[in-house]
Structures are given as C-alpha cells and as structure tokens.
Amino acid sequence: MSVLFETSLGDIVIDLETELCPKTCENFLKLCKVYYYNLNAFFNVSKDFLAQVGDPTATGTGGESIWSLIASQGGKDAPRYFTPEFIPRLKHRQRGTVSMAVAPAVAEEHRGGCGSQFFITIGENIEYLDGKHAVFGHVVEGFETLDKLNDVFVDQDGRPLKDVRIRHVEILEDPFEDPPGLRVPDAPPTSPPDNSTRIAEDEDPLETLPEEEAEEIRRKKAAQASALTLEMVGDLPFANVRPPENVLFVCKLNPVTRDEDLELIFSRFGTIISCQVIRDKKTGDSLQYAFIEFDKREEAEQAYFKMQNVLVDDRRIWVDFSQSVARMNTHWSNDVKMGQRGSGGRGRGGFAGREDLEATRRYRGQTQAQERGKDYGLVFDVPGDGRRKRKSRSRSPRRQDHPKERLRRSPSPRSRHRDLDASHERRRSRSRERRPRDHYDRRR
C-alpha cells in the first residue's frame, strides 16, 4: 500500500505497513484522502536527523486524527489523538523511515498520542527514537529529494527559510473503508493553511531577469511612483489616469503653420473642439507640434489613419494619439476650484466636461463682477474692547456732494483742472454779486 507525495523539492513514494499498523495507516490514508496534508510545510528540518510535517499551522502544536476531524465536522466531541501502535520489529535504523510523532500527555484528561504529524528520517541508526515514536512506513522512491531536504537552509527553530511544501498527495492503493461521516472535498485547497511570511516555495530570490525586462520593470515602477507623487500634490486626479482618446498629437509641423490652418485641414473628419499649436512663451515661435481635440473618439481615429505622413506646408507631419493628460488635468483643476467655491461642481473627485467648463467661466465672470462692485470702505468696530473707536471710512451722501469730494474722485487730471476752473468761476460770480456797482466804477 503506497502513497505518492509531490513536494516542492521532488516526489517521494512511501510504502505503508498496513498489516502491522492498521489503525495508524488508516488514519494516515484517510487524512490524505481529504487533502489534509496538501500545501503543508515542513516546519522542522534537522540535518542528518529528520524532517517533520503534518501540522496545518506549521507551529508543531496543531493537527488531529481523522476521527477527531470527522467529529468536529459533525459538531461532536472526540479525542484529538489516538493510541500509538509500537511494533518492536519496526525501528528507526534505515534512512527514510516514516514515523508518527507522538504528543506527550499534558494531564490525565489530555492524554498524548498520535494525530496527523509525522516525520521522515534523513539520517541512519537513530535508535533512541524506538519506543517513543510509532513507525508505520518507509520511503521506497525519492531519496534524492531527501538529499535536497537535508541541505535546505533553516532558521534557529529548524524551519526552512524557503518553504518546502507538500503540493499534492496521491493515494496509490487504499485497503480501508471510509469511516462513517467522512466528507471528501470536491477539490484540494489552493492556498496554504498557515500564514507564512517566508520565501514562497515557487519563488527564487536569486533569479535574475534579462536586462531588457528588468529595465522595463524599473521604468514601470518609476512611472507609478511619479504618478502617485503627482496625485499627492494635486496635479493628477488619480494615479492611474489615462490620456483622452479623442485628442491627437501632431508633430513635425512647419513653423509657419497656424492653428486655423490645422483646424481647416482636420475639420473634414468631424467636429473639432480645440486646435492649438504649442508656442514658446517668450518668443511666441512655434514649437512645431500641436494638440487637436475632436468631439468623438471615432473622428480622432479616422483622422489618425488618414493624416499620417501627409504633406502640410511642405512638411510631412506625424500624427499619433496624445499620451498627455495635461488637458484633462487643467479641466479637473478648474472643476476642483469651482467645487470648492460651492458653485455646484463635482469637487475634487470628478472631471470637468465642456458644460462644466462653461459653467465655471460664467461663475468666475459673475464672481469677479461682484467683487468689483463690493464696497471695501467699511471698518467695523468691535464694541467693548476698551480701544478708541476708529472713524468709519465710508462717506455720507452730503459729504460726497461737496465739490472737493467730487474733485478728489475725479478720474483724470484734465477733468480735475476743468472742475477747478468751474469752481473758481462760480466763486468769482458770487463775489461780484455781493459787491456794489460803484466798486467796478471806481476801478475804472
């Protein structure tokens, strides 16, 4: 009666002593049948001594017999362990001996015994284990796997630094009938039962990628880090933002090509929302590339296929889809400001379309007009603070009607002199009316 263990280091075939140890072999075979050992890790490996496995928690304190497992599934209580079967003729002499680990008795109500943990000897003549642990099988194939298991690197507790796991168990022959209440899962488990933070059994920490793949991975990580930084500072709505699909990037333009020229050429493919040739901020010279935004994605695709390598102003232009999110970022930042001002925008979480941008422009125009019309001349006094109250800077209507106030508010020096001349002329006319007529006669 044999069982095949497929481990991460290789296969191991174990022959069982079903006639000498029927209870132990039945427990072992039924645990294999319910996938109890699948993805279990070897948690205790001692060089030239033994390798222990069979605890789903990989701590050395877990595991139970098949009868305890069946009782727990049915909501009943049953002993966790069963009585070990010690056979004097079965000893730990040869390499590859398979033996059940016997748990010691903690108290009278918690008797020790055999559960699910077992070990395989990777050394020879370990006779002091006889009578302490129950032998029930021997390895007949896979000694090269035991050699690899003996050479693994372990920590101070004896657990391999890189997990060595039982990937799958195949029962070659089972002479025992299933006990009542045994439930066989439909499929084996897909994740390890323990929460291991060690190197995975299918991971190679020393593996090196080709230079091109490694450089591509580094570039992707750098791009992700840059996008996350831009999201944190508020320059991007979110790190995984994608460029718009209705914007074309046109380069290799002639320096004399204008916005109107490109819009006229590309307008035959559909409605153009914006067409802009990028220019130098200081000199105003064309940088020989432009962005063209269409109303629909299909129109941009048609223009992309039709205008590639077309002669425009004696230059062969190059057309591609835009990889920039600058326009989307500008729309988003405008929408953020509108949302923060309480104008009904979507705020920091959304994008601004054309309708939102038009609403933003109207809102800004109204706000600026309101701010220009505000009276900032009022100074409000805080009563009861013990300070001398400041006089209000606002002018009363009578005070504002005074000629000096009108002169003080006159918009230009020319109008100011004109008002002064008119004021002086009025004063002279009043003085003439008060003086007697003979005063002018005497002057003559």
pLDDT at residue 205, as a whole number: 64
Q: Which pair of tokens denotes residue 373?
A: 């019309």
Rounded Cα gap, residues 333 and 357, in angstroms: 11
Strand segments (E) across 280-420: 286-294, 311-312, 315-316, 318-321
Rounded Cα gap, residues 167 and 201, in angstroms: 10
pLDDT at residue 344, as a whole number: 42
Q: In 3D, which of 389, 421, 395 has the Cα closest to residue 409?
A: 395
pLDDT at residue 336, as a whole number: 52
CB 304 within 8 A of CB 296: no
Fold of the CATH domain 2-171: Cyclophilin (2.40.100)
DSSP lists the bridge partners of residue 6 as: 11, 168
The DSSP bridge pattern shows strands 286-294 and 247-251 to be antiparallel
Which residue shows structure tokens 């699948």?
38
CATH for 247-324 (3.30.200.210, 3.20.10.10, 1.10.1370.30, 3.30.70.330): 3.30.70.330
Q: In 3D, which of 215, 206, 13 has the Cα closest to residue 98?
A: 13
- What is the pLDDT tens value at each position of the chain, 444 positions in all? 799 999 999 999 999 999 999 999 999 999 999 999 999 999 999 999 999 999 999 998 889 999 999 998 888 888 889 999 999 999 999 999 999 999 887 545 556 789 999 999 999 888 889 989 999 999 999 999 999 999 999 999 899 999 999 999 999 989 999 999 899 999 999 888 887 778 887 776 666 778 888 888 888 888 888 888 877 887 777 777 777 888 999 999 999 999 998 999 999 999 999 999 999 988 999 999 999 999 998 999 999 999 988 998 888 998 988 877 666 655 555 555 444 444 443 433 444 444 444 554 554 454 444 444 443 333 333 444 444 445 444 454 455 455 555 555 555 555 555 666 676 677 777 666 655 555 555 554
- Whole-angstrom CA distances from 332 to 17, 321, 338 are 74, 20, 10
Q: In 3D, which of 162, 123, 165 has the Cα closest to residue 6?
A: 165
Q: In 3D, which of 326, 321, 317, 324 has the Cα closest to residue 286?
A: 317
| Chain mean position to CA 70 | 42
Q: In 3D, which of 213, 234, 215 has the Cα closest to residue 223?
A: 215
Q: In 3D, which of 202, 93, 95 has the Cα closest to residue 144?
A: 95
Q: Which pair of tokens denotes residue 34?
A: 């319910």
pTM of the model: 0.50
CB 274 within 8 A of CB 260: no
What are the residue ranges spanned by the domains of the chain?
2-171, 247-324, 327-371
User: What stretch of H or E contains 386?
Assistant: none
Could you give phi then psi for residue 368, rounded to 5 degrees?
Answer: -65, -40
Rounded Cα gap, residues 53 and 117, in angstroms: 6
Q: Which pair of tokens denotes residue 186?
A: 């439909």
Rounded Cα gap, residues 424 and 430, in angstroms: 10
DSSP lists the bridge partners of residue 5 as: 12, 169
